[in-house]
Amino acid sequence: MALALICALVVLLYVRTINYYYVIDDNVKRDGYMYEVPLDGPLPSHWTSKPPKLYRVFMIGMHCVNVSVIYLLWGWAPALLFAVHPLGVWGTAWVTGNYYATTAYFCLIAYYLLHVFPNIYGALGAMALYTAALNSTICALTFPFLFLFIGTPWGLVLLFPLFMYLRGKRFTAGIKTRLDFNKGKPVDARFTWRRLLVMTKVVARYIHVCLLPEKLGFFRLFGSDLHTNQKRYDWTHKANREFWESLAVCLTLFLGGLYINPVGTFWFFGIILLHSQWNLTGQFFAERYAYLPLIGLCVIAGTVLQHYPIAMTAVVTYLVYRTNKFIPAWEKMKSLWKNDVEVFPENPKVHSNLAQYYMNFNDGKTHIPAYRVNETAMLLQKALAMDSNLWEVNMNMACFCATINNVEDALKWTDRAIEVLEPIAAESGKFALDKLYDQRKRLIDSIEQGRIGADDKSPSLTPPAGNNAEQNKEKENDKSKSESKTSKRVPKPARN
């Protein structure tokens, strides 16, 4: 009965997502193991389409199954906390995020088999499931090492499929792509003992967002531009006040968690360490990475709160409120970018992203509607005022000028974007730089041919853009060539 009520609450929270649209990264196919990532984003029409309703039902059902396995393993309290936690939104309301929920599903079932059948039969079943988890997302990489500490020796057989995966094409190709991004950057990001300071800060941030999920969005300023900004890199790697506070948070949770529930403690720390930026790869901090480790924290918290009904009610009420408020951000691209602007107003890139959205989605009109022009300009001016040294923002300003037929200013902002990008491009940024050079040539040709002010002849700017920071890195590392195309549509600006 308790499990049925918990699952009913999940359905009640997420049923609205059945009618939600595709959003960021949903255009990238995962069935090809992402050996090849598309260089250009999809047409704007993709973001006005929806995934099949049946798949949305599957996503909600996957979260319910994960909740059910947690219930069978650790009881109603951890299951309830996990069911209504806002970090579950990433795996339940977002098509791409559901891959992380799938990884959690395979890991949970594997752990359940080893827990119920601690023998060769349970081990064989767990190996098959763990192999599937590895082929879903990389989050399951450290899962087998948990069994070194939690008293289930049969779990160590999972090291065999892990070994095979680490030697396979998917992992080797993926890690090479990410490591290549570090090459030729102005800031040397090789591992030193100082990286332990960074890792401590990152883990503490994940603890904070799990325990107090007040600010949830896609692009945080934390950890950005470390490869190109020496000042920011040194600050992040410094034993400053943030480090000591982070260390205190991590030690308190680890020691207290060992006393309360060792399995939950090793589950959280063992998996989140994979995402602690020991190698500065991927998106620096992303809530979606916390879906699987969150299970461990819910086990710890549930073990304590189940004995205090009033405290449990207060915590669950708060989590339901935060989840209910965050789910609508995933309805469509516009709501997702607006949420970022509201939650992370200090990040210039989120203002640029929303401006980019407004420039691409013009209700079928050739130019930006008048009521959007001022808002788009304001967003870009805000971004530039915060940081004028971001090539993406300068690129988007160039595109904005082109959409209002101010080609001379578009050329000026393009030159500025090139000036900013050239010193930091190296090999990984060559694709973006080439696109900017091509854009500059077309703008000059437009000016020389006297096409300024011609409504149907404004230059089309093909962006060096991706769908998010992590995907841009992968795109820029793709060595394949794409033929530059010139169209007469409204420019498509760069997204950060």
The domain that holds 405 is classified in CATH as 1.25.40
| Assigned domain for 112 exists | yes
Q: Please, what is the average pLDDT of the chain? A: 85
pLDDT(263) > 80: yes
Residue 303: predicted pLDDT: 97
What band does 454 get if pLDDT is binned at 50, 70 and 90?
very low
Q: Is residue 246 a contact partner of residue 207, using CB atoms and an 8 Å limit?
A: no
pLDDT at 199 over 70: yes
pLDDT band at 441 (very low <50, low <70, confident <90, very high): confident
Q: How confident is the model at residue 455 (pLDDT cuts 50, 70, 90)?
A: very low
350 with 304, same domain: the answer is no
**370 assigned to some structural domain:** yes
Same domain membership, residue 160 and residue 79: yes
Q: Same domain, yes or no, for 287 and 355?
A: no
- Domain count along the chain: 2
- Kindly state whether residues 224 and 118 are assigned to the same domain: yes
In a domain, 360, yes or no: yes
Q: Is the predicted pLDDT of residue 395 greater than 50, yes or no?
A: yes
The top-scoring range by mean pLDDT among 17-31, 138-152, 312-326 is: 312-326
Note whether 168 and 135 are within 8 A (CB). no
Same domain membership, residue 260 and residue 138 = yes
Task: Indicate if the pLDDT at residue 127 is higher than 60.
Answer: yes
Does 352 lie in the same domain as 326? no
Give the structural domain span for 393: 345-477
Residue 404: pLDDT band with limits 50, 70, 90:
confident
Reported as a pLDDT band with limits 50, 70 and 90, residue 440 is: confident
What is the structure's pLDDT at 469? 40
- Whether 66 shows a pLDDT value over 50: the answer reads yes
**Residue 473 scores a pLDDT above 50:** no
Look up the pTM and report it: 0.86
Give yes or no for residue 480 having a pLDDT over 60. Answer: no
pLDDT at residue number 38 = 58
Per-residue pLDDT, averaged over 129-140, amounts to: 92
- In-domain check, residue 340: no
pLDDT at 467: 41
Q: Mark whether 319 and 363 lie in a shared domain.
A: no
What percentage of the chain reaches a pLDDT higher than 90? Answer: 59
Please check whether residue 111 is in contact with residue 264, taking contact to mean a CB–CB distance below 8 angstroms.
no
Q: Are both 415 and 379 inside the same structural domain?
A: yes
pLDDT-derived band at 37 (thresholds 50, 70, 90) equals low
State residue 367's pLDDT score.
Answer: 63
**pLDDT at position 464, please?**
39
Sign of the alpha-carbon dihedral angle for 278, 283, 286, 289: negative
Range with the largest mean pLDDT of 103-112, 276-285, 357-366: 103-112
Residue 359 above 50 pLDDT? yes
139, 284: one domain? yes
Q: Is 463 left (phi over 0), alpha (psi -120 to 50) or beta?
A: beta
Give 39's pLDDT tier (boundaries 50, 70, 90): low
Clarify whether residues 241 and 290 are in a common domain.
Answer: yes
* 38 in any annotated domain: no
Q: Would you say residue 15 has pLDDT above 70? A: yes
> Does the residue 32 lie in any domain?
no
Residue type, 319: L
**Span 153-177, average pLDDT:** 87
Q: How confident is the model at residue 102 (pLDDT cuts 50, 70, 90)?
A: very high
Q: What is the pLDDT of residue 470?
A: 41
Q: What pLDDT is recorded for position 186?
A: 78
pLDDT band at 452 (very low <50, low <70, confident <90, very high): very low
Q: Give tens-digit pLDDT for 214-243.
A: 999 999 888 888 888 888 899 999 999 999
Domain contains 141:
yes
Mean pLDDT within 52-58: 95
Q: What is the pLDDT of residue 490?
A: 36
427 pLDDT more than 80: no
**pLDDT of amino acid 36:** 57
Mean pLDDT across 373-377? 90
Q: How confident is the model at residue 402 (pLDDT cuts 50, 70, 90)?
A: confident
Residue 375 lies in a domain: yes
The pLDDT value given to residue 458:
43
Residue 72 has pLDDT above 80, yes or no: yes
Arithmetic mean of pLDDT, 57-78: 96
- Alpha carbons 97 and 309: distance in angstroms, whole number: 32
> What pLDDT score was predicted for residue 125?
95
pLDDT of the residue at 463: 43
Is residue 106 located within the same domain as residue 164? yes
Same domain, 209 and 261: yes
pLDDT at 483 over 60: no
Q: What is the mean pLDDT of residues 320-328?
A: 96
Q: Is the pLDDT of residue 93 over 80?
A: yes
> What percent of the chain clears pLDDT 70, i.e. is strictly above it?
85
